[in-house]
Amino acid sequence: MIKAVFPGSFDPPTLGHLDIIERASGLFDELVVLVAANGAKAGLFSPEERVGLLRDILGARPKVSVRSCDTLVADFARDEGCAVLVRGVRNPSDYSYEYELSLLYRHLNSALEFILIPADPRYLALSSTAIKELASYGADVSALVHPLVETALKRKLRPASRSH
């Protein structure tokens, strides 16, 4: 039985993330989508809100669960018996970042294997940062995020109230 973890900020989750979740859940017996606290990034959504969004979007699936952690992901993986860590890769700079991350993780938890999944071409230019920027100007992001995320962004950003 192989249990995998897909960690990320998911601030907010995009269709690119959901595609990786869909594809990874077909590869492993169990997949934990992990909202990992990232001290360097101030979030638009709280970790609890991100977990709530992911749980609502993914619904009840026997193989997929959504968790959060404020410890090292390498420690979470060891404690939860995850043998594989999944990440998505959009371009060479993602690859180089993820490769360096994998070296660091190998140092922290040598039992954990990194699996990098190439992004679907539809989502190559898609990032949570871009979504937040577009949504803050009231742009239509409906082709890039789940409707629940679109609604949550509208509530959070209230573009109608922006003024100079």
For residue 33, the cross-strand partners are: 6, 66
Q: Could you say which of 5, 20, 64, 141 contacts ligand ADP (CB under 6 A)?
A: 20
Closest to 65 measured CA to CA, from 79, 76, 51: 51
Q: Could you say which of 4, 58, 126, 152 contacts ligand ADP (CB under 6 A)?
A: 126
Asked about 164 being catalytic, the answer comes back as no
Asked about 102 being catalytic, the answer comes back as no
Q: Could you say which of 22, 23, 30, 38 contacts ligand ADP (CB under 6 A)?
A: 38
Closest to 5 measured CA to CA, from 73, 60, 90: 73
* Contacts with ligand ADP, 70-109, as mask; x by CB under 6 A: -----------------xxxx---x---------------
Catalytic one among 55, 63, 78, 90? 90
Residue 44 is classified by DSSP as: S
Q: How many residues bind ligand ADP (CB under 6 A)?
A: 18
9 touches ligand ADP by CB under 6 A: yes
Please enumerate in sequence order all residues whose Cβ is within 8 A of that of 14, keeping only pairs 6 or more positions apart, or say none: 123, 126, 127, 128, 131, 144, 145, 149
Q: Is the separation of the CB atoms in 32 and 5 below 8 Å?
A: yes
Catalytic site positions? 17, 41, 90, 128
